[in-house]
Amino acid sequence: MNRKRTVIIAALLILLSAGAYALRKFISRQAASGAGDFDSYGRPSGDAAPLRQAKLFQVRKAPFTDVVDGLIGTVKGDTIELAFGGQEEKLNSVHVSVGQKVDKGQILLELDHVRAESRKNQAEIALERAQRLQAVGGATLHDVKEAQAVLNVAQKDYEDTFIYSPKTGTISAIHKHVGETVGRSEVVVSLVSMEDKFYVETGVVEGQIDQVRSGQKAEIVIDSFAAHQIAGSVQGVSHEVSMTGRTGTVHISLPDYVQQKVRPGLSARCRIIVYSKNALVIPRKAYDDKKKGVMIVSEGNKTALKPVQLGYLTREFYEVASGLEGGEMIIADISSNPVEEGAEISAAGEPARYQGGSAE
C-alpha cells in the first residue's frame, strides 16, 4: 500500500515538473517572437504598460486682451452752477424746469427787482440832471462822471437780479423755489452745457483702478441708444477711492456722432480694455511657478521642462515674453496633472488653443 502511494506521488511530481517546463518554454518562444508582452516569469512586460494620458495645449499667437468689465455709468456733461450776484432778495420767477433744454442768453430765473429797478431809475434821473447843469455851467465834468458811476452800479445791481444761460444746455437742477430768499453767490440753478462734449462717468473698484489709464479704449452701451456699442476712450482717472463704494472715478469720452443724441442722466454700461496685444498665450495652469517654465511635449511624446519668461498676466492666461514658439505643444494643466520630465505621454483628445479669452 505504501509502495503504491509513493509511486503515485512520484508520478504527480514528474507531471508537474513537465508542465512547468513546457510553460516556461512556451513563454520563452512567445517573448522571442514578439507575440507576447510577458517577462520570463509570465508577468506583463514593463514596455507594454499603457502610456499616461494628458491634455495638451498648442501655443500660438492670438489677440490677447484684458478688460475691466461690468461697469455701470451715467452720461454727464460740464456742469455750470449759476448764482445771483446782487443783494439778498426773494426769488420772484423761475422760467425753466429740470431737464429743459435752454439756449444761450435765455432768462432762467429772476429775483424781486423792484428796489433795484427803483435805484436804477433814480440814478438815470440824477445823471440827466447833472448833464443839463453842466451844459449851463451849474455842474462840473466831475459831477457828471460821479453820476455816471452811480448809474453803472445801479444798472449792474438791476442786471444781477436776472440769471441768463451762459451756454446752450440742459437744466440739471433748480435749488430754490419761488418766494425763498436768495443770498449773494448762492447757487440756485445748475446747467449742463451742450456746447461742451458729453462723457460717461463710472466707478472702478480699488483693486482694478490702478490698471486704468487715460487713452485706453472703452466700449459703451447706452440703454436708450438701441443697445448700439459705442467706441470711447478714457479721458480721466481719479485714483482717490470713495469711502462708500471703494471705487475711483473714471471719465470716458463719447464720440462726436452721438453728442447730439444723448442727454445728461442716461444710464450706460461700459468695459475698459486695459491691455491688448497679439501675443503667444498659455494657460495659467500650464506654468510651473517653482520651476519657472512649462512642460513641452516633443515629437516622440516625451516631456521636457522649458524655461519661460512671462509678460502680461490675467487670472486665467499668461502672455509669453520669451521661451516658446508658435505651434509647440505643452501640458495644459500641470497643477492637477503633474508630469515628470522625460515621461512618455499620449494626448487626451485634441489639443486646446487660445481663443481670445478662453481655451477651446
Look over the chain and give the mean of its residue pLDDT values, rounded to a whole number: 85
Query: Which residues are 192's β-sheet partners?
Result: 79, 170
Query: Which pLDDT does position 22 carry in this prediction?
Result: 59
Query: Which pLDDT does position 287 carry in this prediction?
Result: 95
pLDDT of 178 over the 90 cut: yes
Q: What b/e readout covers 77-88, taking b as 16+ CB neighbours within 10 angstroms? A: beebebebebee
Asked whether 272 and 203 are in contact (CB, 8 A), the reply is no
Query: Which pLDDT does position 79 carry in this prediction?
Result: 86
pLDDT of 44 over the 60 cut: no
CATH number, domain 52-63+277-347: 2.40.420.20
Strand arrangement, sheet containing 187-193: 79-83, 187-193, 169-174, 101-102
Q: What is the DSSP string of 304-349?
A: EEEE-EEEEE-SSEEEEEES--TT-EEES-TTTS---TT-BEEE-S
CATH number, domain 68-77+194-276: 2.40.30.170
**CA-CA distances (angstroms) from residue 184 to 81, 87, 95, 164?**
14, 6, 20, 16
- Give the position of cell 483693486: 207
**Can you tell me the mean pLDDT for 170-196?**
90
Query: Which pLDDT does position 38 carry in this prediction?
Result: 44
Query: Which pLDDT does position 43 carry in this prediction?
Result: 42
Query: Which pLDDT does position 161 carry in this prediction?
Result: 92
Q: Is 79 left (phi over 0), alpha (psi -120 to 50) or beta?
A: beta
pLDDT of 282 over the 90 cut: yes
Note the pLDDT tens digit of each residue in 101-114. Answer: 999 999 999 999 89
| CATH class in words for 80-192 | mainly beta
Question: How many CB atoms sit inside 10 A of residue 259's CB?
Answer: 14
